């Protein structure tokens, strides 16, 4: 089953990738196993986001760049505002990467 590798770019994903890299570099772990761990991470992360998270967010901003390639949308916003139930964040510049949700359920 194909997985979305995009969550590997998050903080938790990067920490995992770094850890796996270190362990593979010093020979503790084989690369195959490391890849399996990453694939499992993709699945677990996706599932956790679906089931464990319930919040809703709105985003507003100026769209500086948009790109749609390989079924992935990439937006670069400027002066964006992110609102959710608890707080509001303003950022000068943010990149949004979004994969097609329909690809997973096929």
Partner 1 sequence: MANNVSSVYIHVVDDVVSKVRDEFINFGVGENVLNELQALWEMKMMQCGAISGTIERPPPAQKPAGPITPVHDLNVPYEGPTEEYETPTAEMLFPPTPLQTPIQTPLPGTDQSMYNIPTGPSDYAPSPTTDIRNGVDLKAGRPSPYMQPPSPWMSQRPLGVDVNVAYVEGRDEVDKGAPNQPMTQDFFMMSSGKRKRDDYSSQLTSGGYMPQQDGSGDAMIEFILPKNQAGVGKSMTACARDTATKILSKKETKTAPVLPQQDGVHDEYDDLFHFQGVATEDYNTPAEQVELRAATPAVGTPKPAKNEAAEDDEPPLNEDDDDEEDLDDLEHGEEEPSTQHLVLAQFDKVTRTKSRWKCTLKDGIMHLNNRDILFNKATGEFDF
> Residue 57: which region, alpha, beta or left (left: phi > 0; alpha: psi -120 to 50)?
beta
> Residue 48: which region, alpha, beta or left (left: phi > 0; alpha: psi -120 to 50)?
alpha
Indicate whether 3 belongs to the interface with partner 1 (CB under 8 A).
Answer: no
How many C-beta neighbours within 10 Å does residue 61 have?
Answer: 19
Nearer to partner 1, 55 or 106 (CB): 55
Q: Rule CB under 8 A: which of 34-93 touch partner 1?
A: 36-37, 40-41, 43-50, 52-63, 65-66, 68, 73, 75-77, 82, 84, 86-87, 89, 91, 93
C-alpha–C-alpha distance, residues 22 and 16, integer Å: 10
Buried b (16+ CB within 10 A) or exposed e, 30-44: eeeebeebbeebbee
Q: How many residues at the interface with partner 1, by CB under 8 A?
A: 72
Question: What's the closest the beta carbon of residue 45 comes to partner 1, in angstroms?
Answer: 6
Question: What's the closest the beta carbon of residue 69 comes to partner 1, in angstroms?
Answer: 12
Task: Identify the residue among 2, 25, 70, 106 touching partner 1 (CB under 8 A).
Answer: 25
Indicate whether 29 belongs to the interface with partner 1 (CB under 8 A).
Answer: yes
């Amino acid at each position: 089953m194909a997985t979305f590798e995009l969550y590997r770019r998050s903080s938790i994903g990067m920490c995992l990738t770094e850890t796996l890299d270190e362990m593979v570099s010093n020979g503790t772990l084989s690369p195959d196993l490391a890849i399996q761990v990453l694939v499992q991470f993709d699945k677990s992360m996706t599932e956790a986001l679906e089931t464990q998270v319930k919040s809703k967010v709105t985003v507003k901003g100026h769209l500086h760049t948009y790109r749609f390639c390989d079924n992935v949308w990439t937006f670069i916003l400027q002066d964006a505002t992110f609102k959710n139930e608890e707080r509001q964040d303003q950022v000068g510049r943010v990149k949004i990467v979004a994969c097609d949700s329909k690809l997973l359920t096929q």
